[in-house]
Structure 1
Amino acid sequence: MEPPNHFETTNMTGNAQPLEHPVCAEWRENPEGSVFHLAHIFLVLGYMGGSGFYGLIYMFTFLALGFFCSSIWAWSDPCTTDTFSWTFALFAICVAQIVHVAYRLRSVTFEKEFQDLYSSMFQRLGVSLTQFGKIVACCEGDIHTIEKDHYFAMEGKTPIDKLSVLLSGRIRVTVNGEFLHYIYPFQFLDSPEWDSLRPAEEGVFQVTLRADNRCKYIAWRRKKLYLLFAKHRYIAKIFALVVRNDIADKLYSLNDKAFDSRGFRYDLRLPSFCHVPGPELEKTDAPRRVQRQNATTKKHQSEPEH
């Protein structure tokens, strides 16, 4: 019995047509519906979100809307079950992220005084609410009160052991009974004293600070604040910036008030002013002495060398 001849049924002429793989078997005559396009618009807006808590809420909100619209579009076509499953799962994940971020945002809310402090001093420097929460925790969230005509510090007596910011009211600064300047809300009470000492040094106030009315302030203990700086270098840089800016503002406010009996304005940056005692300030002829020194220097510079 002969085996069946399979070659007879096979076309060996090589004329068989190759299999075709068309790009699209049948093009749609109409574009996708408005829900499809709206979904992608939401996705584009969502990917434009920024950083921080509010940026995350913005991003996940638009992503959730985009995936929800994609789910509606996929549900309308019974042949896209897998597409619907993925888009709806991503929608659920985005909603969960919104709830999580909103809970974290609520957990770092502060009292009105601290919120005003954040808006006035730290927000413009890019400090996040999480970092500000560490700053608030360092002072234990305590708000102190000074009644009218009570003293925050007395010259030569009160130790320098903290850094404080005025939240409300007004503080009068004097030295030897002479008025220097006022301290207003969201200014440091003791920034010059803080900056004048190293972490291991001790000192006392050289000025007197008295409340003109009922005042509120917060204070950070030196040791706890330096421990915070050691753990978070960014916070240390922020405090160095705001403290030195506060000192500069106080110096320029003093410079505007430094006049002698003849109406000359002194510059605090001149050594002749810094080394003159307070009672002798109005008697000194520092401006003229500085002018004579400048004239003498120019004369020597103009003389030729022999």
Structure 2
Amino acid sequence: MAWDNISQIDNRTVIFRNWTNPVIGCFTWTSPNHFLFQLANCVLLIALFAPDGKKGILFMHGFFVLGFLLLSVWSWVVLCAPDFFSWNFSFMVLNAIQTLFLMYHIRPVKFCDDLEQVYVSLFQPMKIPRHLFKKLVSTDYCTLTSLHEGEAYATQGISKTDRLGLLMSGKMNVYSHNNLLHQIHEKEFIDSPEFESGVGGDEKYQVSIFAGSMCRYIFWSRHSLEYLLIKESYLANVFNIILGRDITNKLYALNEKVALRKGSRVDIRLPSVSSSLKAKQDLRKTVAGVGDESPSHAPHTIIDDTGDDEVYIDESVEDQEKEGLLNGYLRQPYFRGPSLSTCSEFSRGESPRCSINSHSSNSGIHIKM
């Protein structure tokens, strides 16, 4: 390799030139820089060891702010280089803005006491973050309201199934033709069967829901909730799980109301009952043994036409009962007891027939097998 020229710049640096590129080398080294310069680089090194996640990114940008601040002080006070200072100060400002932005997004989200209990009981075990639950319960999608004892949440045959309610405090009672089906307690959905079985929200409630005490609940309109769940796929999956579990609990609560003549219980998983569940839209009335109202006002409705035994239900509704439902409150004389029905015996070859009795002391549908 041939070298054309060697020119000495000073006593420390020599430039070697060849036909293509110059080569710079150092013969002597300066003393280490100021302590601020060393400390700033140590801080920047620590910032690069930040773990993954939002808190790790916040840690990294926070240490970057401190490191570039030290470099800015070093370049302004010790080095006296305005270009060094300008660059380091600009980096510090950018990282400070990013740090504040991250702190705003990961700030703790707090709710009122009722919503906090709902979140801890239902959504926190399913790993729903607080900011996502805050979007779910925001005023853009839901409404928070209260009911006094005896006031109606939904009226049978009148109210539309265009919403979904969640009871936060208090107790509600579900009736069908003056017969208590079951109760709704805190942290339970109010009308999950109707919401799940409905399609467009134009269907009518086949049960009446009244407040059994001072109730505080939150409800979503069907269209706004479906719009939110389309945008948030993870929330939609978790919400369907919670809703399905609530419907299952309500069905098993109704299962306790269904009894044979001998006193044994009827399992809703039996083929004769499960086929009725598939054929009917209102799950509560199907399991409890109360069929849909017939448009021709037929006195009886078959609830199971696939099994060996057919169950007939009397569905006549008095005018006074309809007037009470239209008034929107619970009339005490018609809701004295939690009874469902009593059954009369038939001759051999006939199916048992249940008649509604609002003043009966029995607490279930008794079927003679």
- TM-score tier, shorter chain, comes to 0.5 to 0.7
Residue 229 of structure 1 and its aligned partner are, at CA, apart by: 5.1
Q: Higher strand share goes to which structure? A: 2
Residue 197 of structure 1 and its aligned partner are, at CA, apart by: 1.4
Match of 1:136 in 2: 138
Match of 2:46 in 1: 41
Residue 98 of structure 1 and its aligned partner are, at CA, apart by: 3.6
**TM-score, structure 1 length as denominator?**
0.65
Counterparts of 1:1-306 in structure 2, within 5 Å, are: 19=16, 21-22=24-25, 26=29, 36-45=41-50, 48-50=52-54, 55=55, 59-72=57-70, 75-76=73-74, 78-79=78-79, 85-102=86-103, 111-123=112-124, 124-126=126-128, 129=131, 132-133=134-135, 136-139=138-141, 142-199=143-200, 202-228=202-228, 236-255=236-255, 258-260=258-260, 262-273=262-273, 274=276, 275=304, 276=311, 279=342, 280=354, 281-285=365-369
Whole-angstrom CA distance in 1 between matches of 2:191 and 2:172: 11
- Give yes or no for contact 1:163–1:219 (8 Å, CA) kept in 2: yes
- Give yes or no for contact 1:173–1:181 (8 Å, CA) kept in 2: yes
CA gap 1:91/1:226 in 2 versus in 1, 3 angstroms: same
CA offsets per residue over residues 174-205 of structure 1, 9 Å max, x none? 33444433322332111101111111x63222
Whole-angstrom CA distance in 2 between matches of 1:231 and 1:191: 21
Identical-residue share of aligned pairs (%): 25
**TM-score, structure 2 length as denominator?**
0.55
- The amino acid that maps onto 2:367 is K
Q: Higher helix share goes to which structure? A: 1
SS in 2 for 1:265: coil
CA offsets per residue over residues 260-284 of structure 1, 9 Å max, x none? 4645332212133453456554234
> 97-106 vs 259-268, which deviates more?
97-106
- The amino acid that maps onto 1:222 is R
Whole-angstrom CA distance in 2 between matches of 1:265 and 1:116: 34
The unaligned stretches of length 5 or more in structure 2 are 8-14, 17-22, 277-303, 305-310, 314-340, 343-353, 355-364
Root-mean-square deviation (CA, aligned residues, Å) is: 4.3
Match of 1:289 in 2: none
- Give yes or no for contact 2:40–2:71 (8 Å, CA) kept in 1: yes
Whole-angstrom CA distance in 1 between matches of 2:185 and 2:80: 65
Whole-angstrom CA distance in 1 between matches of 2:368 and 2:41: 83
Whole-angstrom CA distance in 1 between matches of 2:45 and 2:86: 17
SS in 2 for 1:194: helix
CA gap 1:63/1:83 in 2 versus in 1, 3 angstroms: farther
- The amino acid that maps onto 1:40 is L
